[in-house]
């Protein structure tokens, strides 16, 4: 069964490559390109992938409704699709069942069909647009509602001589299912580096609540504005989808959390572009009370306060040579009363978690890219210690690792290609110097991956 599954995945990857070879006219999310009439490289630093240029951020800010396309391409429905696959090797064999994967995966050297998605991506009507993703999850063998961001956006330009200054406002409302999925910058968790990964790679440390823990489990509404293309403000709140809704969306799991009350979310950012140099400095955060896994509130709630800062620099004066620096720091204050009550821990006080991420990237001709990234996770011992267990068994989240990635995006610089299909391939290596508080065996988690990502 192991051989059959991996053989099938390898065949899928080879088949995808063959399609590209025989379909030389096709290549990019193509629905956005058709709607705007722009090449993928206009909005994406590497012509494909989440990493955005100022124009890409402006398109998202405006609710995915920007036009400019013409002819049959512009009139086609705002539908796109994608498939991703990978090969993953780790320095030491892993236990796939411990990662919650379906039977059929090897302990090492896995070829995987990661996911296949369909998107509605573009204008719905008038000033309303959407990015909505329905995904077949290859690891869990199920269909689920993935990242979704539905927006209304409009613009006001107060060009009044009676005012001491011009006032240009873009404002809108986002309905989404994952905190930070609506964000414009590639520093916040949902769209942050690395842009591709594998479900069979090792997972170390802990992640703050705002970093994907609530993805597809919650629904939120936020209101935002951009003032004079300089100051961005956003605020809103999230609540948990009902069990029946999560079942319908394919996102229901036995270990999911629920929010005990609306969880406020906020975002502030300053941006400026000067002679091809783009700068952004921001702050974001979230406050939430959650149940224990399984939506169990019989022991009370766990309380989290996530406060983060982020910054972006892009050199865009010469698009043959693009340089980027992106970083974020997230501090999470935790009051894990429910978890302590569950294990009979009578201690009091808060715990904490620090997450620091930084990456620097160079892109040549918006085709070839190289990125180096560093991650540091540290926090309180625990986070909850069972009094019956020896202290040495207490979980430590402290982890440090770096990532090096090479990227090749052959298409997306021509509208003829962008309207139909695009491809992103990458080689990625992750090296660990510390994993879960351990330095002696951290290198066992070192991972090499080959990723393929095809959109059509």
pLDDT band at 140 (very low <50, low <70, confident <90, very high): confident
pLDDT band at 161 (very low <50, low <70, confident <90, very high): low
Which range, of 162-176, 328-342, 399-413, averages the lowest pLDDT?
162-176
**What would the pLDDT profile of 105-122 be if each residue is shown by its tens digit?**
888 999 999 999 999 999
Distance CA 204, CA 212 (A): 15
**What would the pLDDT profile of 22-59 be if each residue is shown by its tens digit?**
333 333 478 888 888 888 888 999 988 899 999 999 99
**Residue 35, exposed/middle/buried by CB under 10 A (0-12, 13-18, 19+)?**
buried
Per the model's pLDDT, the better-predicted residue between 3 and 88 turns out to be 88
Nearest-CA neighbor of 397 among 455, 352, 359?
352
pTM for the whole structure: 0.88
Residue 4 has pLDDT above 80, yes or no: no
For residue 189, the 8-state DSSP code is G
DSSP letters spanning 301-333: -EEEEEEEEEEEEEE-SSTTEEEEEEEEEEEEE
Which range, of 5-9, 124-128, 325-329, averages the lowest pLDDT?
5-9
Q: How far is CA 440 from CA 432, 434, 437, in A?
A: 10, 8, 10
Nearest-CA neighbor of 408 among 456, 360, 454?
454
pLDDT of residue 386: 45
pLDDT of residue 269: 98
**What would the pLDDT profile of 79-90 be if each residue is shown by its tens digit?**
899 999 999 999
The predicted model gives 227-235 an average pLDDT of 97
73 by DSSP, 3-state: which? helix
- Dihedral sign of CA atoms 366, 369, 372, 373 in order: positive
Question: Where do the domains of the chain lie, and which CATH numbers do they carry?
Answer: 2-455 (2.40.160.10)
pLDDT of residue 72: 67
Q: How far is CA 192 from CA 32, 79, 197, 312, in A?
A: 21, 24, 12, 11
Residue 226 has pLDDT above 50, yes or no: yes
Residue 151 has pLDDT above 90, yes or no: yes
Share of the chain above pLDDT 70, in %: 86
DSSP letters spanning 357-386: EEEEEEEETTTEEEEEEEEEEEE-S-SS--
Per the model's pLDDT, the better-predicted residue between 345 and 332 turns out to be 332
Whether the CB-CB separation of 328 and 357 falls below 8 Å is answered with yes
**What would the pLDDT profile of 185-209 be if each residue is shown by its tens digit?**
999 999 999 999 988 899 888 899 9
- Residue 72, C-beta contacts closer than 8 angstroms, at least 6 positions apart: none
pLDDT band at 325 (very low <50, low <70, confident <90, very high): very high
**What would the pLDDT profile of 430-444 be if each residue is shown by its tens digit?**
999 999 888 888 999
Mean pLDDT taken over the chain: 86
Structure tokens at 38: 């722009």
Nearest-CA neighbor of 100 among 27, 177, 203?
203
Distance CA 431, CA 428 (A): 10
């Amino acid at each position: 069964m192991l051989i059959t599954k991996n053989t099938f995945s390898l065949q899928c990857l080879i088949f995808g490559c063959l399609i590209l070879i025989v379909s030389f006219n096709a290549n990019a999310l193509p629905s956005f390109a058709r709607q705007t009439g722009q090449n993928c490289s206009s909005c994406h630093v590497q012509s494909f992938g989440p990493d955005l240029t100022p124009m890409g951020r402006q398109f998202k800010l405006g609710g995915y409704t920007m036009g400019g396309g013409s002819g049959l391409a512009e009139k086609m429905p705002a539908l796109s699709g994608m498939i991703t696959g990978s090969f993953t090797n780790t320095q030491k064999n892993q236990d796939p069942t411990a990662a919650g994967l379906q039977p059929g995966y090897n302990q090492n050297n896995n070829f995987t069909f990661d996911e296949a998605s369909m998107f509605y991506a573009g204008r719905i009507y008038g000033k309303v647009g959407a990015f909505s993703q329905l995904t077949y999850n290859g690891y869990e063998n199920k269909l689920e509602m993935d990242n979704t961001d539905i927006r209304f956006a409009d613009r006001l330009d107060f060009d009044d001589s009676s005012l001491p200054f011009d006032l240009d406002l873009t404002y809108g409302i986002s309905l989404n299912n994952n905190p930070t999925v609506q964000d414009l910058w590639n520093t916040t968790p949902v769209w942050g580096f690395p842009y591709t990964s594998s479900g069979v790679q090792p997972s170390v440390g802990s992640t703050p609540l705002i970093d994907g823990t609530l993805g597809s489990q919650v629904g939120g509404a936020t209101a935002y504005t951009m003032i004079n293309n300089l100051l961005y403000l956003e605020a809103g709140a999230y609540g948990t989808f009902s069990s029946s809704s999560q079942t319908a969306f394919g996102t229901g799991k036995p270990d999911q959390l629920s929010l005990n009350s609306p969880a406020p979310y906020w975002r502030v950012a300053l941006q400026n572009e000067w002679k091809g140099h783009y700068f952004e400095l921001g702050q974001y955060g979230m406050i939430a009370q959650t149940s224990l896994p399984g939506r169990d509130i019989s022991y009370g709630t766990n309380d989290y306060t996530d406060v983060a800062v982020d910054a972006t620099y892009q050199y865009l004066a010469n698009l043959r040579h693009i340089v980027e620096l992106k970083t974020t720091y997230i501090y999470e204050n935790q009051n894990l009363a429910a978890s302590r009550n569950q294990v009979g821990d009578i201690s009091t006080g808060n715990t904490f978690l620090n997450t620091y991420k930084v990456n620097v990237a160079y892109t040549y001709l918006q085709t070839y890219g190289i990125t180096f990234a560093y991650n540091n996770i540290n926090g309180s011992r625990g986070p909850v210690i069972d009094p019956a267990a020896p202290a040495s068994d207490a979980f430590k989240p402290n982890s440090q690792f770096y990532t090096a990635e090479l990227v090749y995006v052959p298409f997306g610089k021509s509208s003829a290609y962008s309207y139909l299909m695009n491809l992103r391939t990458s080689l990625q290596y992750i090296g660990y110097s510390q994993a879960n508080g351990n330095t002696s065996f951290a290198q066992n988690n070192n991972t090499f991956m080959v990723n393929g990502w095809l959109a059509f």
